[in-house]
């Protein structure tokens, strides 16, 4: 009886006060809870549980109902005011004005771009000399990719690079808002 008393006293004073003792006690409690639960609930069927995959896809919406997702996979269609130029037409006119003509003055070059550009872009281009503008021969057609109904990106291939234009139409009239040159 004294030996049992000493063993219990040793267990309570030394082992359960150490980290290892506390970890062992918690492990015994967890294993006891899991074992008791299995005895009470039964082992169950080997095919039941979360490990089985469904035979058919799980759907929460009937397949004939429209898409209500946040991401729209359809490409947007640019909106143009009736009678106004399309983004493709504005981009093509801008490229013609951008290339200019041999010997064109800076004033005439800016005057040709101004009606096709937003006021912000026209101001950015105010100090640009047309001699320093990268150009070349147009090597293909203008390609337009709509980002929204009022924003499109146009790309024009040249033999020396590619001109990228960003066009905006907050009021249905398309204007070039940004210009970028990608050299080949």
Show me where the domains of the chain are located.
2-41, 87-183
Strand order in the sheet with 143-146: 143-146, 151-157, 161-168, 175-183
For a pLDDT cut of 90, what percent of the chain falls above it? 35
Whether 181 has a pLDDT exceeding 80, the answer reads: yes
Structure tokens given for 72: 């729209």
Average of per-residue pLDDT across 11-28: 78
The answer regarding whether domain 87-183 maps to CATH 3.10.450.540 reads yes
The pTM (predicted TM-score) of the whole model is: 0.59
71-130 pLDDT per residue, tens: 656 678 888 888 899 999 999 999 999 888 888 888 999 999 999 999 999 999 988 888
What are the structure tokens assigned to 34, written together?
A: 């899991």
pLDDT at 60: 67
Which pLDDT score, from 0 to 100, does residue 118 have? 94
Long-range contacts at 121-128 (CB < 8 A, ≥ 24 apart): 121/175, 121/176, 121/177, 121/178, 121/179, 125/179
């Amino acid at each position: 009886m004294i030996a049992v008393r000493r063993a219990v006293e040793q267990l309570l004073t030394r082992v359960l006060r150490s980290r290892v003792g506390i970890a062992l006690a918690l492990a015994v409690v967890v294993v006891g809870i899991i074992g008791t639960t299995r005895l009470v609930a039964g082992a169950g069927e080997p095919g039941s549980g979360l490990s089985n995959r469904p035979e058919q896809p799980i759907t929460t919406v009937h397949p004939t109902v429209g898409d209500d997702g946040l991401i729209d996979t359809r490409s947007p269609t640019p909106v143009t005011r009736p009678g106004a130029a399309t983004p493709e037409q504005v981009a093509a006119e801008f490229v013609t004005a951008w290339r200019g003509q041999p010997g064109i003055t800076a004033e005439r070059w800016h005057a040709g771009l101004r009606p096709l550009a937003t006021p912000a872009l026209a101001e950015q281009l105010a100090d640009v000399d047309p001699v320093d503008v990268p150009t070349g021969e147009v090597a293909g057609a203008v390609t337009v990719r709509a980002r929204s109904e009022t924003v499109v990106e146009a790309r024009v291939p040249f033999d020396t690079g590619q001109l990228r234009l960003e066009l905006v139409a907050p009021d249905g009239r398309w204007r070039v808002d940004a210009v970028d040159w990608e050299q080949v």
